[in-house]
Structure 1
Amino acid sequence: MLKRLKSADQARLHLILMLVLTFSTGVIDAVGYLGLDRVFTGNMTGNVVILGMALIGADNLPVVGPLIALACFMLGAVVAGRVLRPEAAGWSRRTTALLTAVGLTMAAVAVVLFFHAPHAGDPVTLAITGALAVAMGIQAATARHLAVKDVTTVVVTSTLTGLAADSRRGGGSGTHTGRRLGAVVLILAGATVGAVLLHVHPGLGVLLTALLSLIVAVAGGIARNRADAGAAGSAAPAESVAAGR
């Protein structure tokens, strides 16, 4: 019974942490689209659509930026996939390390933005786009490994589909409605906050996402360490009893 409660607490914590990252994705995508020449660094579906329209010269849409974002996002996902492959699904030290790397990358980009204003086609701006996309690829792959149902942290299309199709009106039971709705609202709120911060300075939104990523990494790592310590403490009395017999 105690193990079930601890497992439920871990699952709830992971859900909360992934929802925090969903909010930060909204922030970073708003900064990318509005401040980095209409490029998404988290939502790759948007980049594919932009690229498709840009290839026929529609509305002077960018080509290089979305291509860099797509390639770098996949690179980040490959790196995270390699790192997490030996681990079972769930939080581990490698999860903490990867999300810490995401936060530090975001922080480094924020520092650059405070000294260099982004411009369309500028090499530094393209490098910033690539760095953010790598970080988001790592985040997305890490979230996928944690396997929190309906919370990918980077897209909400499938979440919206599940919200509607599994609702009572859709003939379903309405399970997971809260988390699905929360993910949609949080990415929306993040985009709003990102757009507001962009009016102050483009580096502020990225700095906020850096802080959120680091907070998530630390919180998840601490919870994992406590769970390991609790498991070790529970195992010790059992071993003592067995030895006494």
Structure 2
Amino acid sequence: MAASPVAGPEDPLPLVLIVLSAVTGLVDAVSVLGLGQVFVANMTGNTVFLGFAVGGTPGFEVPRYVMALLTFLVGALAGGWIANAFVHSTRRRWLLTVAAVEAILFWAAAVVALEYDVENLSPASRLFTLIGLSALAMGLRNATVRRLKMPDLTTTVLTLTLTGLAADSSLSGGENKNWRRRIAAVVAIFVGAVIGAVLVRTSGLVVPLVVTGAIVLIVTIAYALHPASGATAGEPDGS
């Protein structure tokens, strides 16, 4: 049976995922600040916002959240297909393929954003295309990172990371072996969000979307140059 795709002590994969966590902050800034309070990486937030919209709360519109949820699921489905297709290949080929698709989706979104009005969220066709492309990319990312089985580094969600940081701490009698990784993930998303907010406010959506795609591709190519990326991608996760 192929080896599980879990990073060894010399594997820089945790650092790659921390950088991708910062990218999530960028993406969330684009979607929340520029697409009408929609998350494309955090589906918990969208589900709650959808509830607000169904409850008639002003400023929350059902179609936006439905679009984000559905396209995220399609992206996650595609991520599962790709992972299964590369199960007997190397992690290098698998992750490069995913990164290329993710980058293309973000760059396509950047092109769509050229004629998009952030202030008025118009035209609607471009708004929904931007939501769809970004959510597809993040669904793909989430499915891929899930297969990597890297504890505390989902790159998109911090609830369990923060819970582990507190629940496993010495104050609770735990060892908290991954505290550096957990703190790094929190800081990365925070810093990414700050940078994303500045970019959206000063330059609109095109620049942060281009930067997002570039970082995803560059950091994955850098990882592909490391010998650890030649490990077998691993069997599909049956959980």
TM-score by length of 2: 0.86
Tell me the percent identity: 34
Query: Deviations 1:164-200 (Å, cap 9, x if unpaired)?
Result: 1001112211210011111111111111111110112
Distance change >3 Å, CA 210–CA 104, structure 1 → 2 = same
Between the aligned partners of 2:89 and 2:46, the Cα distance in structure 1 is: 29
Distance change >3 Å, CA 89–CA 29, structure 1 → 2 = farther
Distance change >3 Å, CA 226–CA 41, structure 1 → 2 = closer
Specify the alignment match of 1:76 in structure 2.
75
Distance change >3 Å, CA 166–CA 97, structure 1 → 2 = same
Specify the alignment match of 1:145 in structure 2.
147
Please say which structure displays the higher CA radius of gyration: 1
Between the aligned partners of 2:139 and 2:133, the Cα distance in structure 1 is: 10
Deviates more, 1:69-78 or 1:140-149: 140-149
* Amino acid paired to 2:142: A
Specify the alignment match of 1:212 in structure 2.
215
Specify the alignment match of 1:9 in structure 2.
10
Between the aligned partners of 1:168 and 1:225, the Cα distance in structure 2 is: 32
Instruction: Tell me how far 1:226 sits from its aligned partner.
Output: 7.2
Between the aligned partners of 2:54 and 2:123, the Cα distance in structure 1 is: 16
Point out where structure 2 has 5 or more consecutive residues left out of the alignment: 1-6, 232-239
Between the aligned partners of 2:213 and 2:163, the Cα distance in structure 1 is: 30
Specify the alignment match of 1:177 in structure 2.
179
Instruction: Tell me how far 1:223 sits from its aligned partner.
Output: 2.1
Specify the alignment match of 2:109 in structure 1.
109
Between the aligned partners of 2:201 and 2:40, the Cα distance in structure 1 is: 19
Per chain length, whose mean CA-contact separation is higher, i.e. which structure has more relative contact order (CA < 8 Å, sep 6+)? 2
Number of aligned positions between the proteins? 221
Instruction: Tell me how far 1:62 sits from its aligned partner.
Output: 1.9
Distance change >3 Å, CA 49–CA 120, structure 1 → 2 = farther
Specify the alignment match of 2:46 in structure 1.
47
Pairwise mapping of residues 24-63 of structure 1 onto structure 2 (< 5 A)? 24-63=23-62
TM-score by length of 1: 0.84
Specify the alignment match of 2:237 in structure 1.
none
Residue 117 of structure 2 aligns to a residue whose secondary structure is: coil
Structure with greater proportional helix content: 1
Instruction: Tell me how far 1:89 sits from its aligned partner.
Output: 10
Specify the alignment match of 2:196 in structure 1.
194
Contact 2:76 2:136 in 1 (8 A): yes
- What's the Cα RMSD here? 2.0
Distance change >3 Å, CA 186–CA 90, structure 1 → 2 = farther
Contact 1:91 1:220 in 2 (8 A): no
Residue 59 of structure 1 aligns to a residue whose secondary structure is: coil
Distance change >3 Å, CA 216–CA 41, structure 1 → 2 = same
